[in-house]
Structure 1
């Protein structure tokens, strides 16, 4: 059989993430490696994969640190990976290694969600898949869920959502849904937003001088969500979301990086929360001299270690 001839004409090029060809073929460039679940000898964290919805192809990778007491209940972190809603998975080396580190440092059970990605599955499918995963976690109330690690060792009274970039956007929206839909089965204590991917038509902060970066962010958003009305879509701009004050947790931790185009959006999000009807506590931490998701790219650097320690402290704060 002769090999299939593919159209090599590019319809969408978004370096260094991906290319989409005019015949519809998607070529992802980053986050395509797959690390199998394992016992990580460096952190002593064990991982395994679970299927949440075979019909919708939603899955997750679970992580658990070494258990010394079989009756021990640990905080539960539900993590949503970044990648512009288009690339990466929980199984790539960056996210697998980071989840091991968080589970170890915070002594927490981690559920790293594998949602479907654009362009094959445009926004809001990633958000709907993520909500299905949150409801799956909540099904473990009273130890009656399908996954023993969660039944035996996850404290559903101490649940956190976290994510980086697009995953931080998803984490925010999952907390909104917890607040508006009153999900039974979990008590969401807080969310951690690492370099969150929010946007808007009107520039904020330093964005006025970043015309090329603004165009790039707009392009990526419209690519991931072809039906959007634009960058003031409530999915992308919290200032346009009437439910912002219903955020379903009491604490928010935001991380921004000094050299990141999205830095101003993180600060703006803090301002919006403080002006909203939400009555929780929001904290923001800016890393000097670093760029977007530096902690995944160089996890052993001093700033990445400090960030990890801050996340762990937030999860274990009484």
Structure 2
């Protein structure tokens, strides 16, 4: 192959999932969104302290300890929030600056010990690698393997939370047989969860070209999906999917955003959980006038603070 031909092949995009991922004919991958990282330590704004823990050769977690954990005279242990970042299974990390800021704020608002999970990304590691790493991290967190968790975390008040693909992971873990056989979870918080399906619902785009972004990305990151986007891992309300009455958690919170194309799937999920588990087991919260994961992009806005407050109330409620 001549150098000119090689250059042409390298420049030809065969999978366009912008802005998350571009895949070139040569096999080269490009992730256009800048993802600067932030080091763990003490956060000046919240007083939350964080540290990194290696869980395996290919996964890790960042732990967050709020000031409430070490407050003078405090004897009661704190809730534990295990968080899974979003990014379509192809971008993001626990060390991303946006997520580091988010988890500092979340730990402080919820007065909870937080565990932010790193998992392997596709396409280098196709799904189910992300699920496997996330399950391994949860298995590590539940028995309080880390001194922070052992000293300050309440194993009877464990919550899973995550945005977009991370919300998808939360659902998957809460449905996993190994988790169901355990003591169970207090609750899960799905923030703008990435669910989809073959048949459009609500205000989802009907044109095939508009559907292609969601369908194509899922089928690319999970080439083994049995029925495309109607695979139960992507469409938990699909015909034949395991019943949502099997969720291991006591209660569910689903957060959606008015300007997010995923909002209709989130609402449908909340409706189906309420049908399966009872309306008192699920809370649906919609942020008006904002889009997908807006709180990561504009954490200082009133809408972001409102969302954080609602999540904190859900975690602290008995």
For residues 99 and 210 of structure 2, what CA distance do their matches in structure 1 show? 25
CA drift of 1:25 comes to 2.4
After TM superposition, the score normalised by the length of structure 1 is 0.90
Unaligned stretches of 5+ in structure 2? Answer: 1-5
2:35–2:97 CA contact under 8 A, matched in 1? no
Output aligned runs, 1:48-197, within 5 Å.
Answer: 48-54=51-57, 57-66=58-67, 67-69=70-72, 71-140=75-144, 145=145, 147-177=146-176, 181-184=180-183, 187-197=184-194
CA drift of 1:280 comes to 6.0
CA drift of 1:244 comes to 2.3
Corresponding residue SS for 2:229? coil
Question: Which residue of 1 is the match for residue 267 of structure 2?
Answer: 267
Corresponding residue SS for 1:12? strand
1:28 aligns with 2:26: no
Map Cα deviations across residues 207-248 of structure 1 (whole Å, 9 max, x no partner): 155654422111111111112231100100111322422101
For residues 180 and 92 of structure 1, what CA distance do their matches in structure 2 show? 28
Question: Which residue of 2 is the match for residue 237 of structure 1?
Answer: 235
Total equivalences in the alignment: 305
Question: Which residue of 2 is the match for residue 289 of structure 1?
Answer: 289
Question: Which residue of 2 is the match for residue 198 of structure 1?
Answer: 195
Instruction: Report the RMSD for the aligned CA atoms in angstroms.
Output: 1.9
Provide closer, same or farther for how the CA distance between residues 213 and 317 of structure 1 changes in structure 2, counting only shifts above 3 A. farther
Provide closer, same or farther for how the CA distance between residues 209 and 201 of structure 1 changes in structure 2, counting only shifts above 3 A. closer
Question: Which residue of 1 is the match for residue 3 of structure 2?
Answer: none
Question: Which residue of 2 is the match for residue 301 of structure 1?
Answer: 301
For residues 38 and 21 of structure 2, what CA distance do their matches in structure 1 show? 20
CA drift of 1:154 comes to 0.7
1:10 aligns with 2:7: no
Map Cα deviations across residues 102-132 of structure 1 (whole Å, 9 max, x no partner): 0011110000000101111111111111001
1:115–1:130 CA contact under 8 A, matched in 2? yes
For residues 154 and 33 of structure 1, what CA distance do their matches in structure 2 show? 30
CA drift of 1:179 comes to 7.4
Provide closer, same or farther for how the CA distance between residues 155 and 31 of structure 1 changes in structure 2, counting only shifts above 3 A. farther
Unaligned stretches of 5+ in structure 1? Answer: none
Map Cα deviations across residues 133-166 of structure 1 (whole Å, 9 max, x no partner): 11011232xxxx2x11011111111000000011
2:173–2:179 CA contact under 8 A, matched in 1? no
